[in-house]
Each structure stands twice: as C-alpha cells, then as structure tokens.
C-alpha cells in the first residue's frame, strides 16, 4: 500500500518529465509506468490469493490422541499460515519482488531529478 501511494504521489512529477527534451523524460515516464503496472498486478494477485485461497484450503480435523490440544491449535492456525505464505511468495511467482519494486521506485525518482537537472542546464 505504501508503494502504491508513492507511485501515485510521484505520478505527476514523472508525467511532467515527459515534456523534457532529449528523450530522458520519456524514459522516466516509461520506467514509472512499468513499475506502477507491475506493482498493481502483483497486489492484484495477492488480493486474489487472500480472497480465494482461504475458501480452498480445508480445515484440519481434531486429533483424538491430543490430550492437551496443542496439535489441534497448531492445525487450526495452519491454513492461515499457508495463505499468508502464499501471499508473501506471490511477487516471486509473478517475477518481481518488494526489493525490486523499491529499487524501481528509486530509479524513477532519480531519473526525474536527472531529467529536471538536464532541462534546467539546457535552459541556462
């Protein structure tokens, strides 16, 4: 959620870079658009997993040999753990990761700064 908000906040700056000369601005907009779309796709997949996988994963039956109920508590929580692990692994299955998304966001911000600096230099 934080990364989507970051992309939304940097969107106007990245789109303003489109008008900069030299093709640098178009590269910044392209990087921003790719990062934003990949982030939306990954979070859409995660949302799909969060909504459908709990319906598919069965609950485990109680074990009659467990006197203290420790194994029953473990098995009662296991489907939730499986769902959360699938959500965490979703970016790797799609081919991206949180660190790649953060690196892409930093690259977009750095490209925007370079593009604005190049435009200011060409004006002067």
Would you state the pLDDT for residue 38? 82
Q: Which helix (H) or strand (E) holds 60?
A: none
Would you state the pLDDT for residue 2? 77
Would you state the pLDDT for residue 72? 80
Burial 93-120 (b: 16+ CB within 10 A, else e): eeebeeeebeebbeebbebbeebbeebe
Stretch 6-34: mean pLDDT? 79
Would you state the pLDDT for residue 8? 83
Cα separation of the two ends of the chain: 40
């Amino acid at each position: 959620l934080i990364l989507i908000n970051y992309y939304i906040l940097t969107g106007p700056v990245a789109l303003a870079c489109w008008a900069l000369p030299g093709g640098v601005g178009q590269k910044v907009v392209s990087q921003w658009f790719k990062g934003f779309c990949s982030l939306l796709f990954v979070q859409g997949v995660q949302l799909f997993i969060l909504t459908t996988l709990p319906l598919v994963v069965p609950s485990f039956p109680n074990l009659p040999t467990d006197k203290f109920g420790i194994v029953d508590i473990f098995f009662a929580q296991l489907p939730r753990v499986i769902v959360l692990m699938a959500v965490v692994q979703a970016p790797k299955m799609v081919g991206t990761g949180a660190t790649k998304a953060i690196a892409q966001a930093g690259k977009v911000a750095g490209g925007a700064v370079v593009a604005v600096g190049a435009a200011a230099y060409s004006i002067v």
